[in-house]
Structure 1
Amino acid sequence: MLVLDAGNALFKFPNSTGDANEKPRAELLLKQLDALGTSAMAVGARDLTLGLDFVRSGAKGLKMKLLSANLVDKAGKAVFPSSTVLTAGALKVGVVGVSPEGALPESQGKPALHAVLAEAKRLREKDKVDVVVVLAAVPYDLARRLAQQGEGVDFVVQSHEGRGPGIASKDGLATFIPPGERGRQLARLELSVDGPGAFLDLSTAGQAQTSLKNIEANLARAKERLATTKDGAARKALEETVATFESRRATLQKASKADATGSARTHLLSYSQLGADVPSDPTVQKLVEKLEPPGAGHDGHNH
């Protein structure tokens, strides 16, 4: 198992509110993300609220790697590693981080697509990774463009606006994943990787089976009506209907067969809701309550 974060985790807003708890809260989040075993995190706008130096100094001594393929400092030098190679069982996973384009506190985001494509290509060719995941701490439209045009990329996990849970959607070349927001959900992406090829979404597997049963029932009814219909025009219409159903059945049979063989690469996205029914860690709870006493009007999601 790999624990990854798509960024925008440290601050509530991209601009400082002057709140005295802003800095200690972000420091606590960094330490706890690391303590949870997070391997890598992208650097987003809501991680740079107190500037680049704060994030750089906060990251020192952490096992968690902060990543950005396109973030440079005022001198034009790369600030963080572009990517990291992680292993999950026998699987080699290349993880790329990407930040918003344009001016950011004490830094600049260079064009994201070019940076991501170059890094994905290098991970495929040099490191021979099996899967490439982009942690995209960028606006929604840019993340979708990365998924559509991301040659060599398998998954784009997006954070920026605080969108909630959703579905995994194939958008061009890569699959687009919403990770949940504000730490209130844990997105779980299960992969089965057996050889090359595109990933198949297992959440649609059951749909193919259900649709196939419906089509077969409709096809049987259409054939029964055709057998008893004498009128030429009606027969022609029914023959066209039967042909359409048969074509659709063949497509669904192929999809169902792919699901059943397990030979394709597959993915399945699900979410764990971290609500009041999931107990907080007592040690972390105490650390949180030092910053935000109970009943002080905060989110209450301390997990």
Structure 2
Amino acid sequence: MLVLDAGNALFKFSQPGADPTEKARAELLLKQMEAMGTSAMAVGTRDLTLGLDYLKNGAKGLKMKLLSANLVDKAGKPVFPASTVLTAGGLKVGVIGASPEGPVSDANGQPLAPAVLAEAKRLREKDKADVVVVLAAAPYDVVRKFAAAAEGVDFVIQSHEGRGPGIAYRDGLATLVPSGERGRQLARLELSVDGPGQFRDLASTGQAKEALKNVEANLARAKERLAASKDEAARKALEETVATFETRRAALEKEAQADATGMARTHQLSYTQLGTDAPSDPAVQKLVERVEPPGSGGH
């Protein structure tokens, strides 16, 4: 298992001074991410509230790697490693970090797509990565456009606007994964890698089965109306409807019959809600309450 973070994790606000506990909060979060075994985190706007030097110093000595393929300093030099290669389940997983484009605190984000795609190609060719994941701490619209044409990338996990949990979505080459918001959910992405090709969402098989039931019911009704109709114009329209439903049925049958044993690469996304039914660790709770006492606005 790999524990990854898509960034924007450390501060409530992107401007310094808005939160009187910002330093204590960031320090606590970094320590707890390390304790949870977080392997890598992308660097986002709300990780740089107090600047590059503060983040670098805070992360010194941690095993967790801070990543960004497109963030450079004022001299135009890369600030963090672009990627890292991790091992899980016998697989080599290439993880790339991406930051917002444009000025970010005392750094600058270069165009996201060229930097990340170049790194993905290197991970595939040089490091022979089995799976490539991008941790994208950038706006959703930018990341969605990137994911559609992200050759060599399997998954893009996005954070920036505090979007809630959702489905894993593919409209093109890479699958876009929402990470949840404000630390209220733990997103779990389970992979099965038994061969080449694109990953297929196991949830889509169940969805196809439900859609197939509706199509078959509509097809049966259309056939009944066709058999009873005497009007030529109405019959022609119904024949076209029947043909459309039959084409759709064939496509859904193919999708619904696929299962995990018949697909080389599959993924399944689920969320664990971290509400009152998920008990807090007493020791960690005490540390949290030092930063945000019970009854305070942020608690």
Unaligned ranges ≥5, structure 2: none
Structure 2 partner of 1:235 = 235
**Alpha carbons 1:137, 1:159 under 8 Å: kept:** yes
Give percent identity, aligned residues only.
75
Q: How far has the Cα of 1:178 moved from its partner? A: 1.2
Mapped to 2, the partners of 1:254 and 1:186 lie a distance apart of 33
**Alpha carbons 2:12, 2:19 under 8 Å: kept:** no
1:140 paired to 2:112: no
Structure 2 partner of 1:117 = 117
Structure 1 partner of 2:179 = 179
The 5 A counterparts of 1:1-303 are 1-17=1-17, 19-259=19-259, 261-298=261-298, 300=299
**Alpha carbons 1:99, 1:112 under 8 Å: kept:** yes
Count of aligned pairs: 299
Give the direction of change, closer, same or farther, for the CA distance of 1:283–1:244 in structure 2 (3 Å limit): same
Mapped to 2, the partners of 1:11 and 1:237 lie a distance apart of 60
Q: How far has the Cα of 1:145 moved from its partner? A: 2.0
Unaligned ranges ≥5, structure 1: none
Q: How far has the Cα of 1:127 moved from its partner? A: 1.2
Mapped to 1, the partners of 2:23 and 2:142 lie a distance apart of 29
Give the direction of change, closer, same or farther, for the CA distance of 1:103–1:235 in structure 2 (3 Å limit): closer
Q: How far has the Cα of 1:190 moved from its partner? A: 1.5
- The answer to which of 40-49 and 124-133 deviates more is 124-133
Secondary structure at the counterpart of residue 103 of structure 1? strand
Report the RMSD for the aligned CA atoms in angstroms: 1.7
Mapped to 1, the partners of 2:217 and 2:273 lie a distance apart of 38
Q: How far has the Cα of 1:124 moved from its partner? A: 0.9
Secondary structure at the counterpart of residue 97 of structure 2? strand
**Alpha carbons 1:258, 1:264 under 8 Å: kept:** no
- 1:16-74: per-residue Cα shift (whole Å, max 9, x none)? 12644211210110010011011100001111111101111111111111101011122
- 1:122-170: per-residue Cα shift (whole Å, max 9, x none)? 1111111121111001112211122122111111111111111122111
Letter in 1 for 2:144: R
Give the direction of change, closer, same or farther, for the CA distance of 1:122–1:227 in structure 2 (3 Å limit): same
Q: How far has the Cα of 1:118 moved from its partner? A: 0.3
Secondary structure at the counterpart of residue 196 of structure 1? coil
- 1:72-106: per-residue Cα shift (whole Å, max 9, x none)? 12222211110011111022211100111122222
TM-score (norm 2): 0.94
Mapped to 2, the partners of 1:291 and 1:247 lie a distance apart of 60
- The answer to which of 65-74 and 4-13 deviates more is 65-74
Letter in 2 for 1:4: L
Give the direction of change, closer, same or farther, for the CA distance of 1:67–1:260 in structure 2 (3 Å limit): closer
Mapped to 2, the partners of 1:260 and 1:229 lie a distance apart of 44
Letter in 1 for 2:64: M
TM-score (norm 1): 0.93
Mapped to 1, the partners of 2:19 and 2:218 lie a distance apart of 64
Give the direction of change, closer, same or farther, for the CA distance of 1:289–1:63 in structure 2 (3 Å limit): same
Secondary structure at the counterpart of residue 172 of structure 1? coil
